[in-house]
């Protein structure tokens, strides 16, 4: 999944191009899928046969299932769909294929390490404020950080590529995308 800062950056770009009546409701929709206790439910994940990165990419988010069960009739639902679209595109189109061949655990360790390096940049560039969610975020990553410190990890997210991707996803017309997904 994309980091909170990535999701908020995409949301900010989206709001610059499309009308949102209730920004707070929209942002709640953008963040809530990752705050859920059961992310397989909140991301409409398909059942996995294996836990390879390739399988996770294909099953992490089922956009069609989401759209069949939900209407984008509120800013919250638009935010929720943007979150799922962002995660889907991140794993299926953004992540370089060479990293998908890494062992599952190693990929995610490198990914979360990369988030730690990238998030301050995104926070500054896109002026995204995750402060109100900071305590929730700290609890989730507290245990992971100690484990990661002892390993030699590499940054697998390039700032320029992330910027281009954020602009692309943030400029997506959700209604048109939803129609394409439902009709595919």
The predicted structure's pLDDT at residue 140: 44
Specify the pLDDT at position 150.
58
Higher-pLDDT residue of 54 and 2 is 2
What 8-state DSSP symbol labels residue 105?
H
Q: What is the pTM of this model?
A: 0.80
Kindly report, residue by residue over 59-77, the tens digit of the pLDDT: 899 999 999 999 999 999 9
Give the residue from 155, 151, 146 showing the smallest Cα distance to 116. Answer: 155
The pLDDT score that the predictor gives to residue 136 is 43
Q: 3-class DSSP state for residue 26?
A: helix
What is the band of 85 on the pLDDT scale with cuts at 50, 70, 90? very high
Beta-carbon contacts of residue 97 (< 8 Å; ≥ 6 apart) = none
In this model, does residue 10 exceed pLDDT 90?
A: yes
Question: Given this model, what pLDDT does residue 149 score?
Answer: 55
Query: In this predicted model, which residue has the larger pLDDT, 55 or 73?
Result: 73
Neighbour-count burial of 3, counting CB atoms closer than 10 A to its CB (0-12 exposed, 13-18 middle, 19+ buried): buried
What is the mean pLDDT of the segment spanning 164-171? 94
Which of 65, 29, 35 is closest to 47 using CA atoms? 65
Is residue 143 over pLDDT 50? no
pLDDT at 138: 54
**Integer Cα distance of 154 and 94 in angstroms:** 17
Backbone φ, ψ for residue 25 (5° rounding): -65, -45
In this predicted model, what pLDDT tens digit does every residue of 99-141 receive, in sequence order? 877 787 888 899 999 999 998 899 889 988 776 555 445 544 4
Q: Which of 27, 29, 15, 55 is nearest to 166 (CA)?
A: 15
Provide the b/e sequence for 7-27 (b: ≥16 CB within 10 Å): bbbbbbbbbeebebeeeebbb
Neighbour tally for 157: CB within 10 Å: 25
Within 13 Å, how many C-alpha atoms sit on residue 2's CB side? 32
């Amino acid at each position: 999944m994309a980091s909170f800062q990535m999701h908020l950056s995409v949301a900010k770009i989206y709001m610059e191009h499309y009308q949102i009546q209730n920004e707070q409701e929209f942002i709640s929709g953008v963040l809530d899928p990752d705050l859920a206790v059961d992310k397989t439910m909140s991301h409409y994940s398909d059942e996995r046969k294996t836990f390879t990165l390739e399988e996770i990419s294909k099953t992490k988010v089922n956009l069609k299932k989401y759209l069949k069960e939900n209407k984008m009739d509120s800013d919250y639902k638009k935010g929720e769909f943007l979150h799922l679209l962002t995660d889907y595109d991140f794993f299926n189109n953004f992540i370089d294929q060479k990293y998908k061949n890494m062992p599952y655990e190693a990929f995610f360790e490198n990914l979360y390490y990369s988030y730690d390096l990238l998030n301050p940049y995104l926070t500054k560039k896109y002026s995204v404020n995750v402060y109100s969610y900071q305590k929730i975020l700290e609890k989730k990553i507290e245990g992971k950080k100690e484990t990661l410190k002892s390993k030699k990890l590499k940054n697998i997210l390039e700032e320029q590529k992330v910027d281009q991707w954020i602009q692309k996803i943030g400029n997506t017309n959700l209604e048109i995308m939803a129609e394409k997904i439902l009709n595919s």
